[in-house]
Structure 1
Amino acid sequence: MVKLLLLSLLLPLHLCFLFFLVNSVSTQSLPPSSKLERAALLNLRASLGIKAKYWPKKHDPCTNWTGVTCSNGTLTGLNLSGLRRTRYGLRNPSFAIDSLMNCTGLISFNSSGFYLPGSIPVWLGQNLSALQVLDLRSSSVSGPIPPSIGSLDKLNVLLLSGNSITGSIPDSWSRLSLLSNLNLSVNMLTGSIPSSLSALRRIKILDLSSNSLSGPIPPELGSLSSLKRLNFSNNTLAADIPLQLANLHNLVELDLSFNDLGGEFSDNLTMNMRDIVFFDVSSNNFTGNLPDLTVFSNASGVTLNFSNNKFYGNLSSSLPNASLIDLSNNYLQGLEVNRNNTLLSTNCFRGQPDQRSLTDCNTFYVLSGLPFDEDYIAPVPPPVSRKSNKDLKYVFAGVFGGLGVIVIVVIILVLILKPCYKRSASQRSANVEPVQEEGTAIDDQNISIDLISFTDSFTYEQMLQATSGFNDANLIKHGHSGDIFSGRLEDGTEVVIKRIDMRSSRKDCYMSELVLYSKGTHTRLVPLLGHCLEHETEKLMVYKYMPNGDLSNSLYRCTDLEDDGLQSLDWITRLKIATGAAEGLAYLHHDCNPPFVHRDIQASSILLDNKYEVCLGSLSEVCAQEVDNNQNAITKLLRISSSSESTPSGSLPANCAYDVYCFGKVLLELVTGRLGISNSEDTSTKEWIDQTLSLVNNYDRDLVSKFVDQSLVIDEDLLEEVWAVAIVAKSCLNPKPAKRPQMAHVLKALENPFRVVREEDFSAEILRKNSSKTSWSTLFGNWRQSFSGSAHSQGQSQTNKDGNGGSKLSGRDNSQGSGGTG
């Protein structure tokens, strides 16, 4: 009886639990209904190289994969936007989505901002018949649009902006009867706008801006009664605006700027556009009188732009109270108009500032056969204030006093610089190239002649094609002198292109690089493949592509595609990188005449090829080293401390000691594994460097364990190398520039670091008595006494070529602790 009672009580609980379980399972996303779809997603994961943390292989795609949406076990949505590829996937990216060919239930595909170089596959419009949203914005898509896209009769949103799509707009798109949003802006489309687009009766947004479309605007587009936003700007459209566009009653935005449209602007075009908030027909060839602007009933929030045309005649005094009206750069005339929200410059108004000249206005009206306002008054310049005789006395006194000071300074400088002038003359007589002072202007003509012998010239169109129109997807980083883009030339060569905006950069920032390369190439400088200097406001430099990027993003690299694990570079590779960078700097400091200073040595300027061989980049700050004698004389005169790291003007120092200091921070970054040391000057970083250097002791190797990168797995011998490199770094980071080693000596130490720590350690008294037997460990503790017997008294190193073609110092394997040549 008791058992029956318990069963009767537990039975409802069992039923409730079963109901909850069934209900919860039915509400969750089920795995793909067929093995075919799951296999397609796994193949897509491999072909695109999606990182494992976004699409973990052992988890259900419908529930655990980012951007994957399923409905009743069927794949319905795929969003690649924001996903990142593995390093392997980034090497050969392409429009590799063929595995989706059988996912016929796909409703939405979004890859905006995801790099998909290549053309849209034809099968996409044939197989994915259920597709409603296709978003490929800024995906580096190229080639023509396949007409098969017109077969997607359920398509509602089609976004292809920000790519390199070529060809014309297919007529087959007239079958996209459900389309409401079409954006083809910022591409390379040519041809005319097809009148068949008038069949898109549900279209609300139509954006064809920033292409190369030509011909007239089809009058049939006036039948698109649902249209709210129409943008045809930045094309080469010609002829008049068709009057049929006046039927677009629901239009909110109309942008026809920067075209070749012309003719008179009819009042009928704006009569029915009462809901407009943005109206722009600027930079065309419109003429005649302005239309009646009072028709805009919602004037308080309207922006109207009629600038850069040829509108003429008197301006109506009843302008609407819009948020902005731009009428500048026309030939309007009349009385003075005072409105804070109206731009009237470069017209023919009376009493207004910044107007055209009387001759310009009169000539235009005469040639047009129009009456001109004879009472036109040219703008009057502001009156010159008159000074009293007493004020003039003070002015003259100040002028002559200032001239006296200038004369005295000039005399002092002549006395100081006279010996330097004699030395320079003797150099010229010996056919030695004189030292170029920092900041000296360089003649563009001479450079262009020299460039022919060592680099190629590219056209701007080639650069646009290589970078997909400088697409954001190709942007690597924002550099000091310009933006850095990845690109691919017509022959398939991968390159890196630096885009220098001359309006915001130093005028000679690219010239210093060209001068450096014109003096000869070196394996430790990133190869310059070419240039494009045809534009005044934009200069382009083309470099060899370095597969492993720079040191800042290669010190730790992803090696496991499954768990996205990170592994740091081993010590052998780190020492190889340090030695390669030292070779490059030694070339600049000792093999160039005059010596060059890099001035931007940090982890991000040390570029790495596929074998982790080093090439120095970021060469826009390179300049000739300042002449020491001149600098010392002026320094003594002005009482400027010679130990300062920055010049009085705040610019980067043009001396080799500054490069050595920056290189010391790179060495410390390699030893400790701490990222960002070399490119930071903040207080916390300086405090950390001082604290770390206090642990670097020439006689106590055990302290290395307190600052060495814990990810390094090294044996006893390699730990000695780490200790030696830390000692070298500390010497490079000496706060007094005069006590820092030369790069030639740093290179010797890095090529044989065991000599730094394994030579016999002498006491301080013995060192004073036996300066010729100075050990390497002591050598890096006091650089004033080091390398006193260096064979290169002029600071230049004799070089020979090793197996890799790099520049090496002769006799480095036999050199002794004193720095002799052996």
Structure 2
Amino acid sequence: MGASAASLFLLLFSILYLIHSTHSLNQEGLYLLETKRSLDDPQGSLSNWNSGDPTPCNWTGVSCSPSSPVPTVTSLNFTGLNLAGSFPASLCRLPNLEFLSLSWNFINGSVSSSSLMPCLALKHLDLSQNELVGPLPDALTDMTSLRHLDLSFNNFSGRIPDSFGRFQQLEVLWLECNLLFGTIPAFLGNISTLRELNLAFNPFTPGPIPSSLSNLTSLQVLFLASCHLVGPIPPSLGRLSNLTNLDISTNALSGPIPDSLTYLSNLVQLELYTNSLSGSIPKGFSKLSRLQRIDMSSNHLEGPLPDDIFDAPKLESLHLYYNHLTGPIPAGIARSTSLVDIFLFSNRLNGSVPVDLGKNSALTILDLSSNSLSGSIPPGICDRGVLRELLLINNLFSGPIPKGLARCRSLTRVRLANNRLTGEVPDGLWGLPHVSLLELSGNFFSGSISPAISSAANLSNLLISDNQFTGPIPSEMGTLSKLYQFSAANNRLMGPLPASLCDLSHLAQLDLYNNSLSGQLLRGINSWFKLTELNLAHNSFTGGIPPELGSLPVLNYLDLSSNSLTGEIPTQLQNLHLDQFNVSDNQLNGPLPPLFATAAYRDSFLGNPGLCNDLPGLCPGSQVGSHNHERMIWLLCSVFILSAFVLISGLGLFCWRHKRFKNEKLKIENFSWRLIPFHKLSFSEYEILDCLHEDNLIGVGASGKVYKAVLRNGQTVAVKRLHGAHSDADGNFEAEVTTLGKIRHKNILKLWCCYVQKDCKLLVYEYMQNGSLWDVLHGCNGKLLDWHTRYNIALDAAEGLSYLHHDCVPPIVHRDVKSNNILLNAEFSACVADFGVAKSVPAIGLRPEPMSAIAGSCGYIAPEYAYTLRVNEKSDVYSFGVVILELLTGKQPVGSEDDINLVKWVSATVAEKGTDHVFDPKLGKEFREDMEKVLKIGLLCTSYIPINRPSMRWVVKMLKDVPGTDIISRLEKKNGTLLPHYQESSDPGCITLTRTNSNCSTEVNEFLFV
């Protein structure tokens, strides 16, 4: 019995042990749970990490070895999970861990050698795109199996440790975009196994390229862009026979390009731009059978272009712009069968372009702008049918436009301005379906604008000024629904303006200066709600000035001078905020509207003898003395008649408005409304509808009217009413509004709900008592904004934009950041508003598609956006930088001193006179140090080059540091001087830090800050 009992006990114990082991997490899982507890996981990415599982092998990011009898963790991939916290040392307690990636997270703090010591089995370590600081850990070289090490896009500082020269099997070393200093160490040439070495965009001490790097015979990729390299390129680099990518751009390298580089037979991409290299391009690149891209732009290369460079059978991209190259373009360029992109702009090339260019290779982009090239445009330039961009501005080309271009339906941008081209423009070129920019200005073109232009469905910018075009403007122009700019000044156009132009709802600039146009000015222009510039001067227009001009919300440039206009100046023009206003040399008469009856506007009305006003120079001197009595009687009679007229008109207007309101309300209530709620509501649509009358009108925007609605529960909301075309301009209204309705952030204007009807939509927002920043800053209440208030407004707006860019999935680009769209509540806390043109950003790695037209407002639009129509977060950063400059200076973004924009004025003034001359005098001097810090941020945000602008996340970080010791000061104090990685940008007085590698697939542009 005893033996049987013992056996039974053992059996039961074994069963219980198996049950227990089946439902207990193993030790590796416990280590991982410890890791989870040490990290912040805002998106719940690790929510399926369950302590009840026997192993962690099915958890997010965890992979186990399938071949082991007992599963063991070998790989952890946490890329892009938005995890935050310090480096989890518990991960290195996993004994068989070979692969670890924490890239694209918010891992911060330093990485100590002790925390990495147990990770001896690691072969792949990726900590890139985080917020790590401190020195590079020495213990990395103790990982004898390590093959891949990526620490790029962090804030590691100090020198590269001597131990890094002792890696035994390392194949990939990426340290790009950190704060490393000292010279590039020669001992890196000892890592004989290296295949990729990337040290780009670090503030190294100026020094040469170590010749020892030529010992890395297995090297395939060498990226040393923006490393403060000086001296010549070592000829010994020609020994790196396996090299496929060589990027040593954006340095201060000098001397000639070594002939030895032409022996790199496996080279696919060569980047030498933005250096001080001299001499001519070495012959022999034709031997590089795999070469696909050669970029030697922005150097001091001189002399002619060698013919044999185009014999390279695999050469796809040729970038030699911004140099001093002379002579003709060699005929060999036309023999290439692989060339796709050719960028030779801003050189001193002359002669004609090879006549067969484009016949043998599938050219997509040809940019020969700003040279002295002559002759005709090659007739077969688009024979392969894939040419997208043809950019030939500022040359001496002559002759007609080739007829083949008129059949090139792949074209998106055509720039032929400032040449000597003649003849009529082929009908087909006017109507190319994909062209967004057609620039023909500054030539000798004749003929008329073809009605075939109606086929140009994507045309956004039509620039044909300074030619000899004749005939009328065709009515088909009104079908170009995306037209943003139409400039046809200094031609011979005649006839009236076609009424169809009134339908161009995206039109922002209309310049028809100095033509022979006649007839009356257009009425019914209410669709021109985006128009900022209207120049019809020096024509033969007759009739009166349309009062409708006064209702255009963003018009700031109006020139109707030198015509034959008659009648009075409409009082409605007083509603405009004009930087340029001129109606001189017409036949206008009557009194001036009160706003214009000042000396400041005298030059706007010269040459109109019929205008009666006391402004000197406008009217002939009137007789006094005997006529004083008659004038007094006439004045009294006029006052009596006017008073009676106003009284009668007021009564009539009241009756009309009351009747209209009743009809409108009845019309609205006869239709059913569909509610799209985004929060719990305590009101109905009937309460909203009762408030939609003119007495509650608080604003008129480009897409509708805004009303203040006080509800029965005491709550106040703002209601934006969209009508007709504006209610669903892109056909995606509900999808976009639903996306915005899901946004939850204290600095994003809350959208309570949306009411949808057939042709009308109501957006119900939270009410902001102090209106827009524009009104408070530039209006009569500007004195209310002290420095602390302005600083807090900037920080609030930055946090709102940072949320859109970094916390929304997908990210949202506002595209119309301006002080009008920053609203202030009763406590002057700011919210970002008006997402009428907001767009989602493509996924990482995808190239953003160009917009069909420029969205945004004059003075706030980023320079690259206006040029390329490509939008990303950096466009918003530029606009926000303009807002910062508004807050600091108190000036408007356009119309500043000397009629230049605010960014240029601030940059120039800082460079010439210092910062004291740009600050708003209302702010005083007690906070001057903090204001200078914010000024630096504003100038960084408005850098001309997008890669030099910080992300909004870093803008928030910098602004938060302003009241104390800021990051810049800490870095300068630490190094004892201005850090070597600071670079003067193209904007005077602007200090920028660049942390973008031009070779990255995405523009990941961050600030080099700890």
Smaller-chain TM-score range?
Answer: 0.3 to 0.5
- Structure scoring higher RCO (CA < 8 A, sep ≥ 6) equals 1
The TM-score with structure 2 as length reference comes to 0.39
Which has more radius of gyration? 1
Q: Where is the helix percentage greater, Structure 1 or Structure 2?
A: 1
Q: Where is the strand percentage greater, Structure 1 or Structure 2?
A: 2
